[in-house]
Amino acid sequence: MIDNDDVYAGGTAEKWDRLSPEERAERVIDWRRQRHLLSDLRSNGSDSWHPFDWDAPDC
């Protein structure tokens, strides 16, 4: 199962605070990485990825 939290785009509170709610919704998920992952899953039946590390310092 892929949880959207696993493909969170990351960033600092300062970065997110500057964005409008619409911009936050558009940018919160790393869509490019998610698309690649789902495409590989569809084509190959498997893939590996590194979920967002919630314990790492903000990027």
pTM of the model: 0.56
Per-residue confidence band for 20, with pLDDT thresholds at 50, 70 and 90 = very high
Residue 1 has pLDDT above 70, yes or no: no
The residue-averaged pLDDT of 18-32 equals 90
pLDDT value for 22: 94
Q: Which residue has the higher pLDDT, 40 or 3?
A: 40
* Alpha carbon 37 to its chain's center: 11
Q: What's the whole-number average pLDDT of the chain?
A: 83
